[in-house]
Amino acid sequence: MNALVNGAAAQRCADWPALAGAVRGCIACPELAATRRTVVAGTAPAGAALLLIGEAPGAAEDASGVPFVGRSGALLDRLLAEVGLDRAAVAVANVVKCRPPGNRRPTPAEVQRCRPWLTRQLELVEPVLTVLLGGTALSWVFGRPAQVGRMRGRPHVVDGRRYLASYHPSAAIRFGPNGAPLASLRSDLALAAQLLTALSS
Ligand code: URA
Ligand code: SF4
């Protein structure tokens, strides 16, 4: 199966549950399909105004089938709560839906093969705002390598959709409690909350 086949399959999905069912059967990436325990399709509460996009499932997500439930997810939940955003009302997806072995970065080929699923997820949610967590998600939207440090802190509109870029929670953990990525992620999520309030009033 290639990206074209995925694209047709993804476009046929009329809603998020249908897409989640279809993506669970995807075997387009032979290595990932052979090593994964679950396919982490993502979560989308009805009427979600905010979509978060990460990179790929880690071990905890692969085990549970739910995005951002490991250490990165715990930090994310805490920061969302701090800025008054309820994780249960937020849609969450990843650039690739299957865990790369050993938590390596997804390859460009894997990102390309998985692209139609996330493209369709964006169409199905039509969020008011999307926050891109880390360089993989940022580059996915811009279609070229892009640096979080240069793009964060202000909204971008791509193909008519509004985005904010920030660091991945794993970077915030790696650089520690006094590191710049945590402070940036916190302020970017606060900005997301402000924008959502402004845009829905
Ligand atoms: N990191 C991600 O990018 N996504 C997850 O779902 C978990 C960790
Ligand atoms: Fe399919 Fe995406 Fe998983 Fe690759 S990463 S097998 S394209 S669902």
Residue boundaries of the structural domains of the chain: 3-200
33 CA to middle of ligand 2, Å? 7
Looking at residue 99, the DSSP 8-state letter turns out to be: P
Describe the crossing of helices 108-125 and 135-142 by its angle, rounded to 10 degrees.
70
Ligand number nearest to the C-alpha of 62: 1
Listed in sequence order, the residues at least 6 apart from 19 whose beta carbon sits closer than 8 Å to its beta carbon are: 10, 13, 41, 117, 120, 121, 124
- Write the single-letter amino acid at 196: L
* Chain-centre distance for alpha carbon 40: 11
For the Cβ of 85 lying below 6 angstroms from any atom of ligand 2, the answer is no
Specify the residue for token string 């032979």.
30
Q: Name the superfamily (CATH) of residues 3-200.
A: Uracil-DNA glycosylase-like domain (3.40.470.10)
Which of these, 119, 67, 89, lies nearest to 111 by C-alpha position? 119
The minimum-distance atom of ligand 2 relative to the CA of 6 is 7
How many angstroms does the Cα of residue 118 sit away from the middle of ligand 2? Answer: 11
| Ligand 1 atom closest to the CA of 60, numbered from 1 | 7
Residue 126: per-residue pLDDT: 97
Please tell me the predicted confidence (pLDDT) of residue 133: 98
pLDDT at 2: 63
Structure tokens of 45?
Answer: 């509460």
Q: From atom 7 of ligand 1, which residue's Cα is the shortest distance away?
A: 68
Give me 3's structure tokens. 């990206």
Low-confidence ranges of the chain (pLDDT < 70): 1-2
**H helices of the chain, where?**
3-12, 16-24, 30-35, 59-64, 71-82, 108-125, 135-142, 148-151, 169-175, 180-199
* Best of 68, 133, 167 for a ligand 1 pocket test (most atoms within 8 Å of beta carbon): 68
pLDDT in tens, 63-108: 999 999 999 999 999 999 999 999 999 999 999 999 999 999 999 9
pLDDT at 5: 73
